[in-house]
Amino acid sequence: MCKSSLALTLFLVIILNLTAVEGFAEQQGTPVFGSTDPSKYREISDCHKGAGTIKLMSLLGSDIFKTNFLGVSAAEIPPECSIGEHIHRYMEEIFIITDGNAQFTINGRTAELPPGSMVVCQKGSSHGIYNHTDKTIQWVYFAVSEEKGKGDAVDFNDDLANTKVESPAPFLWTNLDRRLLKPASNAHDGKGTILFKRLWNSDSFKTKWEFIDHCILPPGTSIGYHQHNVIEEVYYLVSGSGRMTVNDVTWDVKAGDAIPCTLHDSHGLYNNGTDDIVLIVCSCNSKGKGERDTNNWGDDLSGR
């Protein structure tokens, strides 16, 4: 096997959870969840025929979920390195650049995006990332597949090091901008007022992505204890720390943690810290697009 083929195979192994997930973290008595740990990153050269070597770890794999969530991963791209342009026929992805500026390419067109940018890579759209700066890019990845556990990739043999940059970006993206959020009081019977924006709904996707939300929980506020029986969610903490409760088990969570809330799980998040929690909530549907349900249990979690 050639070097580039071996690198791509390793990348797919990590992304598609064909081996053990590196990011699982278990505190005494807590459910399994993903926790970002740069010491566990794997080096991957020529990723999708990209330049240089990136580092990546899997946080959650498809086996955890009952829906078509394929996985969640965290990674970094050093200067002058890239994920080469490629396409997926059976899956779609969300990339969030948590730190650094990046040149992102969708369908052969490239734009420079700032920290906090989120890009939708729809099924059938080619994409890739190049780090043109002198600072390492940090990012997190979410994927949903058309068929449970099935991923794919076709490489374009372009490392994106010499692309033409356009402005404004000619593709679907947004930024985690606090100014765009609106107050939401007692979310799921939670405590106080959080800030909220639905970034994308199911009509932005071709698979069973249901929605992606951006939330900010100030200190002392919460998303109350609730349950879904049709959709599954992942709570990803971009920054801050708090107490997560899933199925009556409560534990400490922090920035870089990805918590699966699978079908029928009761769950919620309380900010018991001194800083805001910046939260991304990603959802996948087990049935048809737009079918949702919620049972609120009237517990704001402040006493847990």
d(CA 20, CA 37): 15
Q: Is 293 helix (H, G, I), strand (E, B) or coil?
A: coil
- Copy the structure tokens of residue 175: 């930024």
Backbone angles phi, psi at 135, to 5 degrees: -125, 140
Q: What pTM, to 2 d.p., does this model score?
A: 0.92
- Give whole-number Cα distances, 40 to 57, 59, 75, 175, in Å: 7, 11, 10, 28
Query: How distant is the alpha carbon of residue 111 from its chain centre?
Result: 21
Quick check: do 3-175 and 178-296 share a fold? yes
d(CA 222, CA 271): 6
Q: In what order do the strands lie in the sheet with 33-35?
A: 24-25, 33-35, 257-261, 231-239, 277-285, 209-217, 193-201, 182-185
Of 27, 140, 154, 5, the closest CA to residue 90 belongs to 154
pLDDT tens sequence for the chain (304 residues): 344 444 444 444 445 443 345 555 555 567 889 999 999 999 999 999 999 999 999 999 999 999 999 999 999 999 999 999 999 999 999 999 999 999 999 999 999 999 999 999 999 999 999 999 999 999 999 999 999 999 999 999 999 999 999 999 999 899 999 999 999 999 999 999 999 999 999 999 999 999 999 999 999 999 999 999 999 999 999 999 999 999 999 999 999 999 999 999 999 999 999 999 999 999 999 998 888 899 999 999 999 9
DSSP-assigned states of every residue in 268-279: EEE--SSSPEEE
- Residue 117, CA atoms < 13 Å, CB-side half-sphere: 20
* Strand pairing report for 266-270 and 241-246: antiparallel
Class of domain 3-175: mainly beta
**Cα Rg of the chain (Å, integer):** 19
Domain boundaries along the sequence of the chain: 3-175, 178-296
Backbone angles phi, psi at 210, to 5 degrees: -105, -50
CATH T-level topology, domain 178-296:
Jelly Rolls (2.60.120)
